[in-house]
Amino acid sequence: MPASSAPLIVSITTLPSRIAEMRPALESLLANRQRPDKIFVPLPAISLREKCGYTLPDFLRSSDFCGDIIEVVPVERDWGPGTKLLGALNRLPAETCLVVADDDVRYRPDFLHGLASAQAADHSASFSYHTYINDGVTIGQGCDGFSFWTPNLDGIAAFAATHVQDTPLLFHDDLWISFFLATRGIAIKEIHRPDGQPVYDIMHQINPLNMLSGEFARGTIRRQGLRRLLRDVDMTPSRRRELTAARWRDKLWHAPLRRIRRHLAKHS
């Protein structure tokens, strides 16, 4: 299938406490310069995190608002924020540009065009408007948009069932999705808007993931989760050596340099 004819599908999930507030996010996606072919909203019956069900707001029941683009997708299991990816898998055409996004922000009009153009030009990578490196693994961020050429996601459901289900990694989908791609040799590349500005405006901070604590705190999951994945995930010996070497390079060289730069920036 030629890149230009591949569907552009967005998937976005939410929480019971936030579902009534997601209309601006959906409106911003519908108003994008490159209009998506579909916007899936995968929802479990019960939210694992909030331990209650969902009440669909009127706009998600409205054919005038949803048209033939927005579709609520019932899913059997709550995969935390990763539901936006895993909950859409069974609804995707074989070759698709999939973009996962967040429900608590309003996206700029060129958001989807940038990701779709980059993805069409390079099927061997994924793209995000913001990435960072943690223990040598490049992490894409769903809030900034995270795009995939869907054949590269083959095996991700089994990966999640084996290594993510019933673990704190459920609450850090950016991390485990990025690690899965790393084990497949799929690079995650950062792209930028021409004006260098962010691709979204924050709308609210209702029950955000960065407020979780203890074993579910973001920093704890990054430290412990990546170590466990590197130890437990089946991969080729050469890939394991590559990821292990990248981890130690980051720990011994790149991470100290980042701390020095932050210190200098703070005191400049």
What mean pLDDT is predicted for residues 209-218? Answer: 87
Query: pLDDT at position 196, please?
Result: 86
Domains of the chain: 3-235 (3.90.550.10)
What is the Cα–Cα distance from 114 to 189, expressed in whole angstroms? Answer: 12
What is the Cα–Cα distance from 122 to 108, expressed in whole angstroms? Answer: 23
Give the residue, 22 or 5, on which the prediction is more confident: 22
Per DSSP bridges, beta strands 200-202 and 105-107 are antiparallel
What mean pLDDT is predicted for residues 210-225? Answer: 89
Query: pLDDT at position 4, please?
Result: 56
Query: pLDDT at position 247, please?
Result: 87
What is the Cα–Cα distance from 181 to 156, expressed in whole angstroms? Answer: 9
Cβ–Cβ < 8 Å for 131, 139: yes
Read off the pTM. Answer: 0.92
- Sequence-distant (6+) residues with CB within 8 A of 96 are 6, 7, 8, 9, 149, 150
What is the Cα–Cα distance from 32 to 105, expressed in whole angstroms? Answer: 14
SS3 string, 172-205, reads CHHHHHHHHHHHCCCEEEECCCCCCCCCEEECCC
Query: pLDDT at position 160, please?
Result: 98
What is the Cα–Cα distance from 224 to 227, expressed in whole angstroms? Answer: 5
At 6, phi and psi to the nearest 5?
-70, 135
Query: pLDDT at position 89, please?
Result: 98
Indicate the pLDDT class of residue 74, thresholds 50, 70 and 90. Answer: very high
Cβ–Cβ < 8 Å for 39, 12: yes
Tens of pLDDT, residue by residue over 77-90, are 999 999 999 999 99
Tens of pLDDT, residue by residue over 151-162, are 999 999 999 999
Query: pLDDT at position 194, please?
Result: 81
What is the Cα–Cα distance from 58 to 62, expressed in whole angstroms? Answer: 6
Cβ–Cβ < 8 Å for 102, 142: yes
What is the Cα–Cα distance from 41 to 122, expressed in whole angstroms? Answer: 26
Indicate the pLDDT class of residue 2, thresholds 50, 70 and 90. Answer: very low
Tens of pLDDT, residue by residue over 82-128, are 999 999 999 999 999 999 999 999 999 999 999 999 999 999 999 99
Exposed, middle or buried by CB within 10 Å (0-12, 13-18, 19+), for 133? middle
What is the Cα–Cα distance from 122 to 187, expressed in whole angstroms? Answer: 10
What mean pLDDT is predicted for residues 203-219? Answer: 89
pLDDT(141) > 70: yes
Across 174-212, b (16+ Cβ under 10 Å) vs e yields bbbbbbbbbbeebebbebeeeeeeebbeebeeeeebeeb
